[in-house]
Amino acid sequence: MDCTTTGDGDFYGLGVRLGLYLQWAAGFCLRNSSGSWKMISTVRTTNNALCGAIVLAVVINTARGTALSTDYLIVYYLTVALFYSESYNLLTKGEREGWGEKSYYVLEPDVPLLVQNLLFAFNHLFGAWFWIRGLHHTQPTTCPPKAALLGPFDLYDKHWMKFAATAAIIGGINFLIFFAIHLYAFWNRSLAGGPVTKVAYVLSDCCGPSIPPVDIVRELLRPGFRSDLNELWDKVKMGDASSLQTTVGIFLAQSGLLIHFALVNLVGPVIAIVSVERMLHANHLTTPRILDSSGQMIALLTGATSLIAALWELGKGFFGIGRNSETDLLALQLYQSRKLLDSHDIKVNSQKLSEENATAG
């Protein structure tokens, strides 16, 4: 029996999938490099537009009863599971000296992040309704539909549907909490009109080594190993890297951190991508070619543009161009200010940053 089913190319056609995968790669590069925070905000805004349009279309089609039974889960993987590690900032710039004095800038929540939190919360809460009632109002595939969590299984399995509904409710509550926390931080910035704040911790010797709670959360959810890698790049550029042993030694020394990094940044996207491709194959879903679908071409070109911009930022960081934290912070403040800043405003804000540096020092 021929089980081929024609799916919606604007939801999960090859162009849409590749575009979203490139969007994820762009965000991943920017979060884990010295790229500017302005570019992070821009890529997140673009991603919100793409994912929001896809989710809204799926919701409308499901309400009308024209969506396939497999559409929502595929779109969920592409728009939420793929990007879950972008749902919070916890990004810093500056110097961190061991367990002694630490001084760095923290990227505060902005409007694109708040919109993303709401989009994720809405997706989950709609998903709870979908798994409880909505699935029974969708169109069936030619053969019995298959879900996938790395491997395919029956979409109508009762245990799966209960699990999916419960997970959707928990996920919706989680992202609503994220939204509330980020909204509070958004309206209580220490540097008025700007998306950054200066954080300085001085740990006295008499207190012994300790870690502030905010740092514990940051290290858990934003693990990084850039300092040693940046030192390696500097040695390579200056011709001081002894041999391959230098590289191997760095990675072996941070093997635990690499595993932590992969769990936070890579496990979800890998599960999402593999599950999407397995679902498409298991359900024999076909979509129009990229050139026959304007939606696919837009998504692909958008993703490619975002990745090119991210790679440009990486290139600047590699060659030491634009690594000044204060310059980046002022550029982002200009980009996101609620009002048009004149030369006086820029001078005042620059002086604030300088005073904070002096105070922290």
For residue 360, the tally of other CB atoms under 10 A from its CB is 17
Q: What are the 10-residue block averages of pLDDT along the chain, 361 residues in total?
A: 85 93 91 76 90 94 91 94 82 52 64 92 95 91 91 92 95 93 76 45 37 55 55 53 53 65 83 94 91 90 92 72 56 55 60 56 48
- What distance in Å separates the CA atoms of residue 36 and residue 336, rounded to the nearest whole number? 13
User: Which one-letter DSSP state was computed for residue 141?
Assistant: P
CA distances (Å), origin 115, targets 44, 49, 304? 10, 10, 23
Instruction: Count Cβ neighbours within 10 Å for each residue of 309-326 and write b for 16 or more, e otherwise.
Output: bbbebbebbeeeeeeebb
Q: Is 171 helix (H, G, I), strand (E, B) or coil?
A: helix
- Residue 250: what pLDDT? 56
- Residue 20: what pLDDT? 95
Q: Is 153 helix (H, G, I), strand (E, B) or coil?
A: strand
Q: What is the pTM of this model?
A: 0.77
Q: Is 58 exposed, middle or buried (0-12, 13-18, 19+ CB in 10 A)?
A: buried
